[in-house]
Structure 1
Amino acid sequence: MTVTEDRTISVQGPADDMFVCSGLGAGYGSIEVVRRFDLTAAGGSVVAILGPNGAGKTTLLNTLAGLLPALHGSVSVAGQTVKNGRPADASDAGIVLVPDDRALFTALTVEDNLLAARGRHGTTVDSAFDRFPALATRRKLTAGNLSGGEQQMLAVARALMQEPRVLLLDEMTMGLAPIIVEELMPTVRRVAEDTGAVVVLVEQHVHLALEVADRALVLVHGEVVLDRTAAELAADPTLLESAYLGGSVA
């Protein structure tokens, strides 16, 4: 396996909206799952993190969100270093995670789920319904009675209520029907453009992820083995195939 020398993602944009990870190591106790992860991304950009199961993608997102302490390295938002292993500090810095299990309050209504996540600047529930009109007709329905696609819309809408500067999406399309996946994925692009947030997307639907991302990297066995623009990878699928299978991508 050939690891690319430069593991840094750079997407041009406003300097004060930059999200930077430097030399990040993530894992559990003394077990390092993700090694030497570097990332620089600007506001309004979408970065896709791809890779086979067990590559360390979820561990990486949980570490960025402060749910796991980094073993080494640093994370900063708009030039401010985020305290290691402190979810509240990550949240205060504007890092918001939508986990793969969605983590909704299933006994609460759609509206109450949104209100519970309202940000400091008083983001309105109506703004969430404007982005996801399908939820407006379900506002008094409990989250547990929504379809899978509607639950995922609610999870993303709730995250946006927190006014993220960095939005982490872990397997947003997991378990959803293909037609729902195709409807949801363009939302990722619109969220980045409309809010100016950095969106970091972990996704198994590779071709759909590349359609909405600016740049993508492939994580294999905890290391970045491929780092390209999304357009480059979409145009040359053999690069992805080689990376996933552990071949040379030099």
Structure 2
Amino acid sequence: MSLQIRDLVAGHGKVPVVRGLDVDVSNGSVLAVLGPNGAGKTTLMMTLAGLLPRLGGEVLVDDKPLPNGNPSRANKSGVVLVPDNRALFSGLTVADNLTIARRKGGMSLDEILDLFPALQARWKVAAGSLSGGEQQMLAVARALVQKPSVLLIDEMSMGLAPVIVESLLPMVRRIADTTGTSVVLVEQHVRLALEVADDAIVLVHGDVTLRGSSAELRRHPDRLEAAYFGGDIAHATA
């Protein structure tokens, strides 16, 4: 397993937001983390990236424990976060954003352009002048150029029109299949997320209320609805 999360407790200060999370994400697979606003999804991603210290439990990458609350060490261990605000250098070009992020042993720029050919035509354009969809593509490309073992993508669809989201999300599946990276995807578009993910969990008020393969959850939309809104999952039928 590339990413292993064991009995994780995450939160802000001493206040737990996510409690007792156990999950494995194998090489080349995609885990969708679903749930309503305020469920703890972004807190989870920030904790996995080391931006927030864990309140309990452990996180392992390739069976090696990550140090607690150390984003630099987490990054060097192969964990790379694409935040929901994208965090691009808006005044720098596409090429500059990628060149700055690339590190020794990372993906070449040619490899990145093979995955994101649309960026070629925007190569010398400032990131701040790109469309929302292009900016999101660049944010993911900038993470990938670091050749992560674990790629964390927080709300890829934030601020984007549904038609743009439909074209971008399949990229996540291609990344996992092509690079063997383990991907954790927080996403509000449930149907689209389940189409590209292998497995999914539903997080509500910091607890996992439902988990399973994406194919299984697509077959039982009523269970998803019950998980989101506190219904009786055990007696829900598709």
TM-score normalised by L of structure 2: 0.96
Q: Number of aligned residue pairs: give it.
A: 234
Which position in structure 2 is the counterpart of 1:229? 213
Counterparts of 1:31-180 in structure 2, within 5 Å, are: 31-180=15-164
Q: How far apart, CA to CA, are the structure 1 residues paired with 2:218 and 2:32?
A: 12
2:183 to 188, 193, 199: 199
Q: Contact conserved, 2:2 with 2:150, CA < 8 A, in 1?
A: no
Q: Cα RMSD (Å) of the superposition?
A: 0.9
Q: Which amino acid aligns with 1:57?
A: K
- Out of 3, 26, 50, the residue aligned to residue 10 of structure 2 is 26
The CA distance in 1 between the partners of 2:111 and 2:24, in whole Å, is: 29
Deviations 1:112-159 (A, max 9, x none): 000011132142222212211111111111000000000000000000
Corresponding letter in the other structure for 2:150: V
1:195-232 per-residue CA deviation (whole Å, 9 max, x = no partner) reads 11110000000000000011101000000010111001
The match for 1:7 is: none
For 2:177, give the aligned amino acid: E
Aligned equivalent of 2:233: 249
User: Greater CA deviation, 17-26 or 83-92?
Assistant: 17-26
Q: Structure 1, residues 1-27: CA drift from partner, whole Å, max 9, x if none?
A: xxxxxxxxxxxxxxxx52101011000
- Find out whether 1:238 has 2:222 as its counterpart: yes
**In 2, Cα distance between the equivalents of 1:204 and 1:63?**
20
Distance, in Å, in 2 between the alignment partners of 1:137 and 1:190 is 21
Q: Distance in 1 between matches of 2:213 and 2:148?
A: 24
Distance 1:114 1:241, change over 3 A: same
Gaps of 5+ in 1: 1-16
Partner letter of residue 126 of structure 1? D
Give the letter aligned to residue 228 of structure 1.
Answer: G
Take 1:188 and 1:123, find their aligned partners in 2: how far apart are those partners?
17
Q: Give the drift of 1:233.
A: 0.7
Q: Which residue of 2 aligns with 1:215?
A: 199
Work out the CA distance in 2 between the residues paired with 1:132 and 1:92: 24
Give the TM-score taking structure 1 as reference length: 0.92
The one-letter code of the counterpart of 2:44 is L
Aligned sequence identity (%)? 60
In 2, distance between residues paired with 1:96 and 1:45?
16
* Consecutive aligned runs of 4 or more in structure 1 exceeding 6 Å deviation: none
C-alpha distance in structure 2 between counterparts of 1:63 and 1:42, whole Å: 19
Q: Is the 8 A contact 2:2 2:149 kept in 1?
A: no
Distance 1:82 1:201 in 2: 20
